[in-house]
Amino acid sequence: MTATAADCLRTGTRAWHDALETTGFATALLAGTLPLDRYMAQLTAYRVVLRTLETELSRTAEPAVAGLWTAEDLRKVPLIERDLRHFAVRGASPVRWPAAAAVAFAGEIRTTAVAEPLSLLGFLYVLEGSTLGARYLSRYVTDAYGLHGTDGTAYYTSGDRARWTRFTTRLDEALTDPATQTRALATADRAYHHTTRITEALSSGLPPRQRCAP
Give the pLDDT band of residue 124 (cuts 50, 70, 90): very high
**Of residues 50, 53, 26, the one with CA closest to residue 38:** 26
pLDDT at 102 > cutoff 70: yes
Domains of the chain plus CATH, in order, are 5-202 (1.20.910.10)
| Cα-trace Rg, the chain | 17
pTM exceeds 0.95: no
Instruction: State the pLDDT at residue 212.
Output: 44
Q: What average pLDDT does the segment 89-106 reach?
A: 88
Look at residue 136 and give its three-state secondary structure: helix
Give the pLDDT band of residue 214 (cuts 50, 70, 90): very low
- Return the sign of the alpha-carbon dihedral for residues 93, 96, 99, 102: negative
Instruction: State the pLDDT at residue 97.
Output: 75
User: Distance between CA atoms of 188 and 178, rounded to whole angstroms?
Assistant: 15
Calculate ∠ Cα 51-55-59, nearest 5°: 175
Q: Which amino acid is at 187?
A: T
Instruction: State the pLDDT at residue 208.
Output: 81
Q: Say if CB 45 and CB 102 are below 8 A apart.
A: yes
pLDDT tens digits for range 150-193: 999 999 999 989 999 999 999 999 999 999 999 999 999 999 99
Q: Is 205 left (phi over 0), alpha (psi -120 to 50) or beta?
A: left
